[in-house]
Structure 1
């Protein structure tokens, strides 16, 4: 089957997926937060020129229900609600919010986050017992070391349960004045040396350390990359991907999953699909990345027993 023309608008996405023979999109990098936190995050992006050196307008700055409806319309039927803590004492309330949000919206995956603080292992165990499906860790925003001893028990539990952890660990996109003490492939490499069975999904292909994070994918069989913002016109201005790296992503086909960063993107969702399509890796690669790989990761969860 030849590759159909990439969608130019969100309205064209369903037809594009149908032409590929896909029932939808398995996007593992979608954000929902409690309203007050979401407003604070959007306010941060409103000052994009200060933080990133370029404007960062939020394309989907709409109500929670409108965002859920948008995702349903374009084919994201199992919706992550990724959130993250930026200081100690936030995780319990965020994870409780995630559980309640998933309970109220059956299409939403049960998500949680981590932070290096006492009692984290017990919180993660409780979340797993409650049906946890996906975890988000943001190394730079949380300013945490992935291999912090206070997270060791949590990693053991998540590895055993085969629950995917979307980890933003690359040092980009760079924020003026924000610490990058723990970002980069070295810290993740130390984590994996101790917990090699972790199901990690490295956000944004690990940009700008594309090659080094791909090395970790080749070294550890349960490490994956997500496509969040990669190859888009916007991100190519901030952290361009070396052209030769496209071929490597073709070779890593089974270990690349779709990510978007919806709703906090400065362009329509369709543009992410255009960016992936123009790499020219073919219809089979697109089918795996847009659907099969993400679905497989979510299906591998081991129920507690």
Structure 2
């Protein structure tokens, strides 16, 4: 009954909430307009970007009102089982269905977005080691209406992290460098989905850190359940903590280029500028039209070039 009431409460925010599902579409014209380059503008106008279903993993900088855009790490949502990669030991069952989809080869429990019943797609999955990307979400004068938004609460995010740890430990040991091994797992190959990949580039990652982080969250939630209320503040605290831990592995040069209020600033021009919709997802992207994540990557590479 509470969900039924909550979903009708108006919620207007100037920056979208991490942990939510959203539809994005690249805006190549606005991405190049300021360059005063007629050729770049013509090429941008010729593009026909598609809309994509994504999960907002992290907000990569502290948001403030009246910014032109907000920087996020997003992870594309798939409409099939995990694409197999035999060389890396990745199998089709290394994925998690998103309710109301409950189809999985080993009967894995689906993630349940809340408010329950508002996620409009019945064929969607999170993929293990799905490539995450950074995007700049264009601000809106009318801001973002999250009244009909759907997201993962703390319990579902912990559930997802546990599945990724389980899948990570199933990967074969393919590393010959003992310094990159962690209990028989190659840290460069085991990335706990997009939850810990800050950029498109590959990076070394220790799955043990995720185990510690996940167990810490469980313990903290048991001690203080109200600290994990499903609002934007709790999501930002959780995501911000993870982001800072991940950044600690970067070089001093990377840290020097990082501004906590603006995110890394040496590659802004290459980060896709996107329009985003966070409520009534099916109105902006029908289920039968959800494209492959690989189409999204190709679009992003095209506009960067």
Structure showing greater radius of gyration is 2
Q: Which has the higher helix share?
A: 1
Is TM more than 0.5 here? Answer: no
- Structure 1 length-normalised TM: 0.30
- Structure 2 length-normalised TM: 0.30
Larger relative CO (CA 8 A, sep 6+): 1 or 2? 2
